[in-house]
Amino acid sequence: MEQTKKRNGFASGFGFILAAAGSAIGLGNLWSFPYKTSANGGAAFVITYILSVLVIGIVVMVAEIYIGKRAQANPITAYKKTHKNLGWLGLFAILIPFFIICYYSVLGGYTVKFALNSFSGNAGNVYSFVGNVGDVILFTAIFVVLAVIVVMAGVKNGIEKASKVLMPALFFILIAIAIYALCLGEGVSEGLNFYLNPNFAELGFEGILAAMSQAFFSLSLGMGIMVSYGSYAGKEIKVGKSVSMIALFDTLVALIAGLAIFPAVYHYQAVNPGSNLATGGVLLMFETMPLVFESMGALGQIVSLFFFAMVVIAALTSVISLMEVVTQFIIQKYKVNRKKAILIVAIITFAISIPIGISLGKVLNGDNSMLICGENWLDFLDKVTNVVLMPLGALGACIAIGWFTFKPNKKSDIFNPMSLHRQLEKDGLKLGWFGKIFAVMVKYVTPLLILVVEVVGVIDFIAPVVNGVRTFSLNGLGIVLTAYGLCAVAITIYFVLYKKHNTGCNADELELDKSTASEKEEVIENVIEEQAVEVATERTEEIKE
């Protein structure tokens, strides 16, 4: 109790799990997982995805949360504490979320718009909405403001409290909609067949890679999110148990989302023969789903409201985690209070999100005048961050814990995972039966697998397979160079600006809070004093009279 009072972090273990699950459960679960599954061999993809979560996701998440927890500091300081030359991984872990916020907010804005429009008809409006710059900016702003309110209230009073209400709400809505969709009758079995029918030939190597990178994105790994949330976790929070719960919730929500979406879509197609709805991409969520809801009559409006409210919640709790990482660093390094820090983050990312929204709207309306490397701005950033940078960040977390954090007693122990296991236990990471497996995985297996994802991902950009032949792609090269350019920038900034200087820790925020609190007290005291003086002079005057 003492400790939770003094620390500016999560008040309870369950609060921590829900907040981290809130970050993990997002558009990736409700939207990309279902359509990636249907496009990559159904159950074959699901099996590969679950394996990726087990052998890559869980290991990286344990590593990241532990890096944060043992340091009780923002990602730069936390990585510095693994090794002083690795602090740049922390900067990397702050830069990636910064860019993701910019495009995630645009999509978040779409979801707000569609939730609010549930009763006045969304169907068929997607093109005019996304093309309407004013509307897109307005709804992005509303979404950003919602996130800012939560982050501004702090980790315990904002993020944790919001997650405790929003995450159970999301879960119940999702289950209710899935049950409803599964009971629609006609078309349901075709929908399930489309979603889950196992087809290993369709999965292929590409599908395996897609499953692996989906696991990174969906679990919010490869950047500072889990490091930062981990830093707010107290001693009483068990890393292993928390990670298994977070991964379980995340996977369940992704799986159930497909059960809510595809039966409904196929039901619509069965009832409206000849219709050919989009089953992937932006259009699945914003064109197909509104049409499906509309066809359900009055009840459909309510289902639509709940469906999009659920998507707003998912997107909101994810963007909150992204904002928190950047905000935490600004507070701790530059000693500004939380309010100012989050406003700085929100204003800059919002400004960048405007051209992103405009570019996406244009492309969806068939106007290709605003592209970077052949992509709309949103897809461009998404590819730079997801495909190239996130695996690198995850690789960094494994290497930091597996190879740099602890010095083995004997030279011969350098390559011995059991020595790492003993050191991790001594350092306070108690994982029970999973401890030894974790040491082997984090040192060897997981980094190797991630390396494959990274290398193949990069090759596929630079030389994609077109009509069965590998062909050089200048646009792909541009994406890869942008990503590695960002890495170079992060590394340079770290060594020039941050390595030798104090980059702050959670205790600094506590101090900052205290000093602002005592300033406030002083002000209040002064006011009271002044009032007392006033009253006293009035009294004396009265007496004189």
Give the per-residue contact string, 281-310, with ligand PHE (x = CB under 6 A; - = no).
------------------------------
Distance CA 79, CA 91 (A): 9
Residue 449 binds ligand PHE, judged by CB under 6 A:
no
- Options 321, 349, 359, 419; binder of ligand PHE; rule CB under 6 A: 321
Minimum distance between the CB of residue 385 and ligand PHE, rounded to whole angstroms? 8
Minimum distance between the CB of residue 66 and ligand PHE, rounded to whole angstroms? 18
- Options 9, 26, 75, 417; binder of ligand PHE; rule CB under 6 A: 26
Give the per-residue contact string, 375-414, with ligand PHE (x = CB under 6 A; - = no).
----------------------------------------
Residue 28 binds ligand PHE, judged by CB under 6 A:
yes
Residue 76 binds ligand PHE, judged by CB under 6 A:
no
Phi and psi, residue 538, nearest 5°: -55, -45
Distance CA 321, CA 229 (A): 8
8: tokens are 């500016």
Q: Are 219 and 53 in contact (CB under 8 A)?
A: yes
Question: Three-state SS for 199?
Answer: coil
Q: DSSP string spanning 102-134?
A: HHHHHHHHHHHHHHHGGGT--TT-HHHHHH-HH
Residues 99-158 that bind ligand PHE (CB under 6 A): 100
Residue 220 binds ligand PHE, judged by CB under 6 A:
yes
Among 5-13, 22-30, 426-434, 457-465, the segment contacting ligand PHE (CB under 6 A): 22-30
Among 19-27, 268-276, 358-366, 503-511, the segment contacting ligand PHE (CB under 6 A): 19-27
Distance CA 402, CA 490 (A): 22
Residue 318 binds ligand PHE, judged by CB under 6 A:
yes
Question: Three-state SS for 6?
Answer: helix
Residue 218 binds ligand PHE, judged by CB under 6 A:
yes
Among 27-35, 106-114, 237-245, 485-493, the segment contacting ligand PHE (CB under 6 A): 27-35
Among 108-116, 133-141, 318-326, 460-468, the segment contacting ligand PHE (CB under 6 A): 318-326
Minimum distance between the CB of residue 101 and ligand PHE, rounded to whole angstroms? 9
**58-71 vs 390-399: helix crossing angle, rounded to 10:** 60
Residue 207 binds ligand PHE, judged by CB under 6 A:
no
| CA separation, residue 353 to residues 19, 103, 141, 362, 372 (Å) | 25, 6, 10, 14, 15
Residue 27 binds ligand PHE, judged by CB under 6 A:
yes
122: tokens are 């969304």
H or E stretch at 469 = strand 469-470
Q: DSSP string spanning 72-83?
A: TS-HHHHHHTT-
Q: Which residue has the tokens 């067949």?
A: 193
H or E stretch at 465 = strand 465-466
Residue 349 binds ligand PHE, judged by CB under 6 A:
no
| CA separation, residue 280 to residues 30, 74, 120, 284 (Å) | 12, 37, 25, 5
> Residue 518: how many CB atoms within 10 A of its CB?
10
Of residues 59 and 315, the one with the C-beta less far from ligand PHE: 315
Phi and psi, residue 120, nearest 5°: -105, 10
Among 25-33, 178-186, 409-417, 465-473, the segment contacting ligand PHE (CB under 6 A): 25-33
Among 18-26, 70-78, 265-273, 427-435, the segment contacting ligand PHE (CB under 6 A): 18-26
Binding residues for ligand PHE, rule: CB under 6 A, are 23-24, 26-29, 100, 217-218, 220, 225, 318, 321-322
